[in-house]
């Protein structure tokens, strides 16, 4: 789940967050608000490249977190002020399912307190997109890189040079 929305220019960041979540094997992303038609963009990516990744818009963050807890998910809030990922990753990995919360402009205090883990991917300022990618990568021990996206219109054939895309 991504909290809040900074301003219009943020759409690009939101799109990156959606596509990273999808590519790294998340089931869905929850967005509090969007300006542009991000769900349509993601739908198009699913149709072209496979998978059933979902974008859910407008559910209040508190509700999403409560529901996640009821489903037995551990809540991982990414923040540069949190505990180092490398100290907690084994514990997080042992959870059956997780909800990852990525901050927006101002993160309300209840997020820090409701989260099972407040986790820092380095204690340096950088990018919620990078932090999310590293978390999903580490939690899945890199297995997400081998993920098969099933039925798709196009498929990339990895190559040492150039671009090979086939219809499938």
Question: Contact residues for its own copies (CB under 8 A)?
Answer: 9-10, 12-13, 16, 19-20, 22-24, 45, 49, 79-86, 112-113, 118, 120-127, 129-130, 132-134, 137-138, 142, 144-147, 149, 155-156, 158-165
Task: Label residue 142 left, alpha or beta by phi (over 0 means left) and psi (-120 to 50 means alpha).
Answer: left
- Is the CB of 59 or the CB of 91 nearer to its own copies? 91
d(CA 131, CA 102): 9
d(CA 33, CA 57): 6
Where is 98: in which H helix or E strand?
Answer: strand 98-102
- Is the CB of 20 or the CB of 28 nearer to its own copies? 20
In the complex, minimum distance from the CB of residue 8 to its own copies, in angstroms, rounded to a whole number: 9
In the complex, minimum distance from the CB of residue 125 to its own copies, in angstroms, rounded to a whole number: 6
- Is the CB of 59 or the CB of 123 nearer to its own copies? 123
- Is the CB of 151 or the CB of 163 nearer to its own copies? 163
d(CA 11, CA 6): 9
d(CA 102, CA 89): 17
Residue reference for tokens 């099933």: 150
Q: Which two tokens stand for residue 33?
A: 């608000």
In the complex, minimum distance from the CB of residue 36 to its own copies, in angstroms, rounded to a whole number: 11
- Is the CB of 50 or the CB of 61 nearer to its own copies? 50
d(CA 65, CA 75): 8
In the complex, minimum distance from the CB of residue 165 to its own copies, in angstroms, rounded to a whole number: 8
In the complex, minimum distance from the CB of residue 32 to its own copies, in angstroms, rounded to a whole number: 19
């Amino acid at each position: 789940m991504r909290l809040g929305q900074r301003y219009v220019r943020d759409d690009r960041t939101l799109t990156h967050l959606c596509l990273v979540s999808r590519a790294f094997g998340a089931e869905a992303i929850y967005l509090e608000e969007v300006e542009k038609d991000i769900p349509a963009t993601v739908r198009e990516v699913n149709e072209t490249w496979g998978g059933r990744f979902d974008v859910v818009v407008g559910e209040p963050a508190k509700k999403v977190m409560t529901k996640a807890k009821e489903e037995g998910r551990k809540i991982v809030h990414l923040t540069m002020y949190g505990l180092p990922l490398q100290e907690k990753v084994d514990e997080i990995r042992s959870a059956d399912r997780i909800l990852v919360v990525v901050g927006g402009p101002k993160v309300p205090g209840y997020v820090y307190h409701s989260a099972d883990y407040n986790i820092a991917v380095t204690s340096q300022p950088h990018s919620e997109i990078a932090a999310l990618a590293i978390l999903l990568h580490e939690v899945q021990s890199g297995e997400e890189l081998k993920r098969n996206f099933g039925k798709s219109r196009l498929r990339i054939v990895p190559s040492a040079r150039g671009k090979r895309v086939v219809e499938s």
